Amino acid sequence: MNAHEIDYHIYGEEMQYVEIELDPQEGVIAEAGSFMMMDSGIKMDTIFGDGSEQNKGFLKSILGAGKRLLTGESLFMTAFYHAETAGKKRLSFASPYPGKILPIDLSRFGNKFICQKDAFLCAAKGVSVGVEFSKKLGRGFFGGEGFIMQKLEGVGMAFVHAGGTTAQKELAPGETLKVDTGCIIGFTKDVNYDVEFVGGIKNSLFGGEGLFFATLTGPGTVYVQSLPFSRLASRVWAAAPQGGGKDKGEGSILGGLGNLIDGDNRF
């Protein structure tokens, strides 16, 4: 299916949002909860799946929605349409945590891009958001993203979100890049994705980097993020006060004095 042609602009640095410009009858699809703001004259609709199977019968719509459950997403997505007959309308979608929004022109990547399960933000109406199953047992168990990743298919624009700073790597045929399994944003369809054991007892037990690397072999394009959400969440959880709001004793005595100074006398 040909996707709608949309114009866009990405604003911000650490907490970005993408503003999309719609001509009459154009539309976009988005994950629930990513909407930020829009002009009047844009209609919003809730659809099964991504809506790409909407005109192919009820059963295919149900199957398309069911695929989204496998990636941990909601059964539904939100579609936005320019409902008027003249003029341009704008709407915006925000990133869920600090990082970057990457515009992916699917027509440049063979009409298919594979990304981690929670990376997709929004796309032109007509882009299909499906499921990519791992064909390798090792990759499924140890690849960080499990057996299932998302695949974006079509010829339009899609937008994915990543944490921290992003890097784009162009891999030549046979060239391999080793990446922390959680730091992958996505890659083009010709990239071969597998996992590799770190090796060595000391590395495995005390290295602190996990037991496996992701190995990405070209040809193709790979996008990598410096701060996957799982890493951010684990650091926040580790630093959070434990047990009724008391801190973990950082600075110990000084920490207690700090509590007295700022009026919090809980020790």
Q: What is the CA radius of gyration of the chain?
A: 22
Residue with tokens 């114009």: 7
What are the sequence ranges of the domains in the chain?
7-239
Q: How would DSSP label each residue in the chain?
A: -PPPP-EEEEE-SSS-EEEEEE-TT-EEEE-TT-EEEE-TTEEEEEEETTSTTGGG-HHHHHHHHHHHHHTT--SEEEEEEE-SSSS-EEEEEE-SSSEEEEEEEGGGGTTEEEE-TT-EEEEETT-EEEEEE-S-HHHHHHSSSTTEEEEEESSSEEEEEEES-EEEEEEPTT-EEEEEGGGEEEEETT-EEEEEE--SHHHHHHSSS-SEEEEEESSEEEEEESS-HHHHHHHHHHHS--STT----TTTHHHHHHHHHTT----
Residues contacting 183, CB < 8 A, separation 6+: 224, 225, 226, 228
Q: Give the DSSP H or E segment for 245.
A: none
CATH architecture group of domain 7-239: 4-Layer Sandwich (3.60)
In angstroms, the CA 152 to CA 186 distance is 10
CB atoms within 10 A of CB 6: 19
Residue 34 in contact with residue 122, Cβ under 8 Å? yes
pLDDT at position 170, please?
Answer: 96
Q: Which one of 133-147, 164-178, 217-231 scores highest in mean pLDDT? A: 164-178
Residues above pLDDT 70, as percent of the chain: 68
In angstroms, the CA 31 to CA 42 distance is 17
Query: Quick one: tokens of 27?
Result: 């539309």
Residue with tokens 């730091």: 183
Q: Is the pTM of this model over 0.85?
A: no
In angstroms, the CA 157 to CA 49 distance is 18
Query: Quick one: tokens of 135?
Result: 């064909």
Q: Which one of 2-6, 17-21, 201-205, 213-217 scores highest in mean pLDDT? A: 17-21
- The tens digit of pLDDT for each residue in 13-59 reads 888 999 999 999 899 999 888 899 999 999 998 876 655 554 454 44
Query: Quick one: tokens of 211?
Result: 């037991």
Residues contacting 254, CB < 8 A, separation 6+: none
**Number of helices (H), then strands (E), in the chain:** 5, 19
- The tens digit of pLDDT for each residue in 121-155 reads 999 988 988 888 765 545 545 545 545 788 899 98
In angstroms, the CA 159 to CA 138 distance is 29
